[in-house]
Structure 1
């Protein structure tokens, strides 16, 4: 059995059921949320608040509260605050099921197509409708394009400036001095002589790598537009297919852009490998920045067009045929690759969130008869309960999702790690090898090459960014794979793009298993009388920006920051910028707003959103 903490037991007939002590504390919680602040004070540490409110990113509103011990260079405590209630789940209740696609798309302007697709898949399960193979291929191509955009945006426009000349020269002058002397190992792949040249390339607005990425993101978006008709918020997605044209002319336009992006992927991997290896070689303690256990979750993406049937009964079978394998790792151990088990293990807690705990247990079991927790998304209700913020009690609009009552990280690192250890991937260009993945990239303007990504010892800030760099190549070759399949279906005359559907009037359940660039995304829907009775969205940032759970266990952002040594160079508290904290938060690629204000023990520090990391001013 893959669950160790979820309170499930088996009777004498082998039937699973929820134990009566379903609120029992998980074994992994240990002593819970012990008071690290009190312990630090008892040791004589001089502590100070360091608040980042909000943290810059692309959308949403996230604040981060820390207590730091600058003398001993450690973070004593951390709290993640999602500062904005948006209420899509409340808005959708009672509506026509098709509204879910277009309303949930507005949850994010960057990845609205991902939400629309996930909503359509939840409805496909509820409606029992299966798209034609070419429609599945087209949405797989759109997904690849969205991830190619997201990862390029993150590495060069959002997180990249944290590793630029402007930031490194200010926060780590000695490291910057060494970067100017260290040759770039693969300079021939990107035309830069030293590591310092890479850092200059990442300077916001002026750096050549920053500016090139702006152009590359356009090419990726154009592929999404070719598949989905427009972006953001495509209106062509519906249960059972897509409302766009499939033709050789369209797919030829996609091909030219994919070839260009594959050439770019070779360059990206070389740049980030060289840059991150420099940090780890010069200051080995960077391997501890943002470190946390290998608790990873992925629902997988990219369906096989002949296997996907949208059913919950066979979701584990079609899930394992995806070109990124679904699954869960706990402490590096693979627990499952079955989508049904991934779904069963999910719970969502609100003890430290601005919501009321709901009553009742509408669905004691899933469609297989397997027990569902009262805290499972199909049982959850969204009941806003705004109150005064308290770090000890309620402090965020985010919830605390857990799998088997463990906090989970998702994203490219999880996707590649799980796909590698599961060993189920069947693809001509990407293969699992001992301890990692190999990706074959064809010749374009640059020679053909094989990239090898290796599983790190533990997740950390730098390895999240490295995985994202390799994932550009991974996504590119997945897109290339499905493009070849598209041409084959066109040759065979299999050009259908939609299957008719009927909205059921009886009570029915559905779940969309999909992923955004930053990680796992699920939409759980309950339909009754042809209307939405309940709708629950779990985004990757909900998983990773979660607060403490009822057992006192911090969420992934909080845990990673509390494990982070403060390596920047400062002579006084006034010099401290918190760059190691910021790099760690950004390594998860969270959704954030535009302008940042940092409160640091009586000081407010402003950050210009165009740089995402620069222009720190007292």
Structure 2
């Protein structure tokens, strides 16, 4: 057996959005990473936060949306909520309904379908397993699928064959499904990616033919309901097989105990529309979204902070106060000692970072995103110093402890199942969603998808490759549930006032205000922070879910969850805890298991790194033109 460590470099990692690389040192005998030497790094910088300064606040909705064309409305929605707060305007209930309906389609159903079957799916395809995992492939040929009556596949091998790129039926059907999802969302958004209809305080959708809009949306939702049954049933069968037959249960583990955040997702239309008329009121009332509304859909996902298996808070305000961002291992200058803070407190008067101070005497509120200044510092990567364009999001608690964290569909589903029993998708500590019977389906869907099916899933306490994939599949059912609930309630609201349906309230132009949006999107919690001065953006910072998940390691960590005094991000931890299972000699290893672990997060590096300049003698000019007329 070989004894010399193998350095594996996968750069670029394909089938992800953006530029991502991995370097890992692997013991060929144990087939695992040695001494935690696994580094993931983002190799691009774009600088949206830099050129947002000086613009009018509503522009941020449409500019941050351009971060990515995959999750084409994720940042628009995060920014919209920050704008709602900063500009003191929230939509009427019908406006919230339309936001929920559109987002369920254009980003959740569309994105999850593509990620699971087109980007992640080929890792589990027959083509890969036949060549690199022959013993698993043989078992797959002999293992009957449990949910054959729904998805129509007889064996696990049939499911793997359906995931073959370009030719497999699940791959092809995902392309068909995402078209329907985007069409449904565009009925409301006007366009996807980058929806132009999202505005502070509401949505600009034309409802002059509103009844037709609802009917066309329902037509597509009906087919997508059947599709999601097939999607979930296929992945449940495949995941259960890999756990039982291929020793895959703990592959890609991030942390030994759950360590994550979750934000609001699918807000109650009635509660959100009643938050207030100023940034102080909206911020102060925002945790009321977790309450039970008197009528209409209830808020589905709620803010949650879990550290090392311990629930710390269920408060949006706590989650905001605790947010920090460092650049010790990132290609940026530290701004904390050369800039002045925009604010030391949140709108409720709470000290940011709990009023704590860093070991060098710097107030930690300087590292809160409201006070961060993005100053690029490009250099050659050095894994002992700086090696990524992604920054280092961290949480700090009242006792001074600090840690890295993850976010994603598994995290938000785990949060509501374990800590929010009044969420409408929770029953007896499990995710429980009944997908309705469908009377008519297209020929490309199996007849079993017409039957009613209650999807039940108890999110495990471990974030692994397969639990993250299953979380994404089950999250698709959540989006279908939300779409039906909001469709029915929206139609009810519209029929009450067809001649002049109200969706939006006028926003204000404050001399000073703060805004924050912490919103659940396909990859996890997106976070947007805005400081407004004289109705212009004085500072803007935002984190994609991937910003936290791909975070480089640093020494901003204290507590038993640290590894040799370091905070290590979820991507790197997932590789450290992955064993290479390829049934070929080490010289022929491709790194499929590492790739699966990372792709299970659905990475989006273009969102995480945020203007790439190539060549010499380039000039940057600042041209400010309002996107929204006021």
Residue pairs, 1:131-150, within 5 angstroms? 131-145=91-105, 146-150=107-111
The 3-state SS of whatever aligns with 1:257 is helix
Q: Which moved more, 1:580-589 or 1:256-265?
A: 256-265
Instruction: Give the aligned partner of residue 479 of structure 2.
Output: 475
Q: 1:72 aligns with which of 30, 34, 43?
A: 30
Match for 2:74 among 97, 114, 124? Answer: 114
- CA displacement, residues 418-456 of structure 1 (integer Å, 9 cap, x when unaligned): 1111224343xx32322x211111111411121111121
**Rounded Cα–Cα distance in structure 2 between residues aligned with 1:289 and 1:104:** 31
Q: Select the residue among 318, 325, 328 that pairs with 1:341.
A: 318
Check whether the contact 1:437–1:452 (CA below 8 A) recurs between aligned residues: yes
Aligned pair partner of 1:499 in 505, 521, 528: 505
Answer whether contact 1:322 1:425 (CA < 8 A) is retained: no
**What is the distance in 2 between the residues matched to 1:423 and 1:501?**
32
1:361–1:374 CA contact under 8 A, matched in 2: yes
Matched, 1:56 2:9: no
Answer yes or no: is the 8 Å Cα contact 1:334–1:418 preserved in 2. Answer: no
Q: Which moved more, 1:262-271 or 1:527-536?
A: 262-271
Counterpart CA distance in 2 for 1:277 and 1:521 is: 30
State the alpha-carbon separation in 2 of the partners of residues 58 and 252 from structure 1: 35
Q: Deviations over 1:288-343 (max 9, x none)?
A: 33343311211121111111126111111125562112212222322211100111
User: Following TM superposition, by how much is the alpha carbon of 1:167 offset from its aligned partner in structure 2, in angstroms?
Assistant: 0.8
Q: Match for residue 582 of structure 2?
A: 568
- For residues 471-524 of structure 1, the C-alpha deviation after alignment (integer angstroms, 9 at most, x for no partner) is 1111101111111110110122172122112211x2211112212201110110
Partner residue in 1 for 2:371: 379
For 2:395 and 2:212, the matched residues in 1 are separated by 44
Contact kept, 8 Å, 1:354 with 1:397, in 2: the verdict is: yes
TM-score (normalised: structure 2): 0.84
Matched, 1:212 2:173: yes
Secondary structure (helix, strand or coil) at the match of 1:50 reads strand
Measure the CA separation in 2 of the matches of 1:81 and 1:289.
Answer: 17
Quote the Cα distance in structure 2 between the aligned partners of 1:141 and 1:169. Answer: 41
Q: CA separation in 1, counterparts of 2:505 and 2:347?
A: 24
Quickly say closer, same or farther: Cα 1:426–1:289, change in 2 above 3 A. Answer: closer
Aligned residue among 327, 340, 359 for 1:350: 327
Aligned mate of 1:516, from 511, 521, 528: 521
Q: Which of 225, 230, 233 is the aligned partner of 1:267? A: 230
Q: Per-residue displacement from partner, 1:335-371 (whole Å, max 9, x unpaired)?
A: 2111001111111110000001112444221111211
Using the TM superposition, give the Cα deviation of residue 374 of structure 1 relative to its aligned residue in structure 2, in angstroms: 2.1
Matched, 1:396 2:388: yes
1:280 and 2:243 aligned = yes
Structure 2 counterparts to residues 571-586 of structure 1, below 5 A: 571=585, 573-586=586-599
Q: Say whether the 8 Å CA contact 1:439–1:450 is kept in structure 2.
A: yes
1:129 is matched with 89
* Residue deviations 1:198-218 (CA, integer Å, cap 9, x gap): 100000001011101100011
Asked whether the equivalents of residues 557 and 585 of structure 1 are also in contact (C-alpha less than 8 Å), the reply is: yes
The answer to whether the 8 Å contact 1:55/1:592 transfers is: no
The correspondence for 1:312, drawn from 283, 304, 315, is 283
**Match runs of 1:311-460 below 5 Å:** 311-319=282-290, 322-358=299-335, 359=337, 360-372=340-352, 373-404=365-396, 405-427=402-424, 430-434=425-429, 436-445=430-439, 446-460=450-464
Q: Is the 8 A contact 1:147 1:517 kept in 2?
A: yes
Q: Which residue of 1 aligns with 2:157?
A: 196
Q: How is 1:149-298 mapped onto 2 (pairs within 5 angstroms)?
A: 149-246=110-207, 247-292=210-255, 293-298=257-262
Instruction: Name the counterpart of 1:302.
Output: 266
The aligned runs of 1:516-555 (5 Å cut-off) are 516-551=521-556, 552-555=566-569
Separation in structure 2 between the aligned mates of residue 73 and residue 242 of structure 1, nearest angstrom: 52
Deviations 1:128-168 (A, max 9, x none): 11111111110011121121111111110000110000111
Q: How big is each residue's C-alpha offset from its partner over 1:509-553, in whole Å with a ceiling of 9 and x where there is no partner?
A: 111221220111011000112211100011001010100123321
Distance between the aligned counterparts of 1:288 and 1:333, measured in 2? 23
1:235: Cα distance to partner?
1.3
Deviates more, 1:550-559 or 1:340-349: 550-559
Distance 2:313 2:220 in 1: 36
Contact 2:406 2:569 in 1 (8 A): no
Alignment partners' CA distance in 1, 2:77 and 2:309: 30
- Distance change (3 Å), C-alpha of 1:527 and 1:387: same
Distance in 1 separating the partners of 2:426 and 2:140: 35
Aligned in 2, Cα 1:64/1:515: closer, same or farther, shift over 3 Å?
A: same
RMSD: 1.6
| 8 Å contact from structure 1 (residues 523, 535) kept in 2 | yes
| Distance in 1 between residues matched to 2:320 and 2:91, nearest whole Å | 22
